[in-house]
Chain A
Amino acid sequence: MRKPILLLALLLPAGVSGLGAQTEYYARLGAVGASNLLRDVIVNQITVRQSIAPMLALGASLPIGAQGYRAGIEGTLVSGKFHSSETGTETDLGTIRTGSVMVDLEGPLYRDFRWRAGLGVLQYWPKDKEGIFGTGGTARFLAGAGLDYRRPVLPAWDLMTSLRYDWHRFTTGELERRGFSQTQGVSRVSLSVGLSRSTRR
């Protein structure tokens, strides 16, 4: 998984001969919300969830074929708090940062809307090695899909609005050490706005 991502990351900025002008770059800022990272029961049910957090997304894509399809790579960085809830009481568990890299395929959908789907890796970086991250962060495989809407605002730039959904299965070394088995399905949804370097010339 990591080799194709690395290859694409090296090829895209370099601009493969003849494709440089068709390479599209973009940057977006937005917010991401996630479902529960964990459900536990110690007398009562305890849930752990990330708070809605700011997100930075950077990406690039190249055309493939003549049907308007593109292959791309997108990275995101998210930093925010996470907390536990037990019988209505919330406890701040600290700060968690996540970074993802996803290789994806995109194509036309309707007018200025385009679809996108991809696979990648998500890394959790806890600020402190404690609690559920007592043995440190964790890397998880990620699958995602989304919608992009582009609207020309400048000769070479489009306003890009993106709605994304991605999914992974979560656990940590600390949870495994304590006897948690299987993993927790985690869904994330993000909405972001940014600029995309247009390929219309």
Chain B
Amino acid sequence: MSRPMRWTAAALVVAGAACSDIATPIRIDFYEWRLIVPKASGSGEDSLTFHWPHSRIPVRIWVEDAADLPGNMPKAIAAWRAAFLYHEFDATVVSDSGTADVIVRASSAPGTQFARVRLHSALAPECAGATDLDISDDHTQLRLPVRIFINPSADPNSPGLPECLALTTTHELGHALGIWRHSVTPTDLMFVDPVVTAPSDRDLATAEMLYHVPANVEAVGR
């Protein structure tokens, strides 16, 4: 090989290395997050996907001053925010429930006057949780606010209560951010009766993925 050829080949190798892109990971380890409901009209089923749009971020969350909610909710927000590389989701605790997108109360879920869909979860003896979603009849709108209920059902001195309240708060926030199904894997925080204290890699991957799939349910009101 002549000298100019060697230099040209070397330059091409350097240029090729300089221009190559980072290799993205293969994201396949996530679970079904869509809410499957009977079709609004006719037979069959609707698969509902919801995520908060950029225009509503940060999501405004009001929490009742009970059941460690003021302490647990910021930690829950931080736990889910860690799922995202590109600021897809963020939330903040607000003091006015009248303008909040999500209202979190420390009580058992009442009758279903606020909810067309209720996601029951965290059925541990120490505490329970539920998230109510007011979805329009045609399955295209989520009427705000989303209502979360964290119910400290056990003795207040129960040793497992603080952990149960913390993980249930994070679990219900997972529903509020758009994971409208439960994982079938017990090691995921979004399992129906979670035992882990933080979102698993699969939970985080699911949250990340759902924010890049077009939503077919839109948040309205507030």
Question: Which residues of A pack against B, CB within 8 Å?
Answer: 38-44, 46, 48, 84, 86, 89, 91-94, 130-132, 134, 167, 170-171, 174-175, 178-185
Contacts and interface: CB of A to CB of B under 8 A. Distances in A.
B13 interface: no
Interface of B: 17-27, 54, 81-82, 84-88, 208-209, 212-213
Contacts of B208: 42
B152 to A, nearest CB: 31
Given A86-B212, A167-B18, A185-B18, A40 B23 contact: no
Contact of A130 (B19, B54, B81): B81
A184 B21 contact: yes
A182 B86 contact: no
Given A89-B54, A92-B87, A180 B22 contact: yes
B27 A42 contact: yes
A86 B54 CA distance: 12
Contacts, number: 72
A41 B26 CA distance: 9
B209 A131 contact: no
Nearest to A134: B82
Given A44-B212, A86-B212, A180 B24 contact: yes
17 contacts: A38-B22, A39-B24, A40-B22, A40-B24, A42-B27, A48-B86, A86-B212, A91-B86, A131-B86, A134-B82, A171-B22, A175-B22, A178-B25, A180-B25, A181-B22, A184-B21, A184-B22
B22 A131 contact: no
A46 B18 CA distance: 20
B212 A131 contact: no
State the majority secondary structure of interface residues on B.
loop
Contact of B86 (A39, A86, A179, A184): A86
Interface centre among B19, B24, B84, B208 (most CB of A within 10 A): B24
Given A42-B208, A86-B212, A131-B85, 6 more contacts: A40-B85, A42-B212, A131-B87, A134-B82, A171-B22, A178-B25
A94 B86 CA distance: 10
A39 B25 contact: no
A157 B202 CA distance: 61
A33 to B, nearest CB: 17
Given A43-B212, A89-B54, A185 B21 contact: yes
Contact of A43 (B20, B81, B209): B209
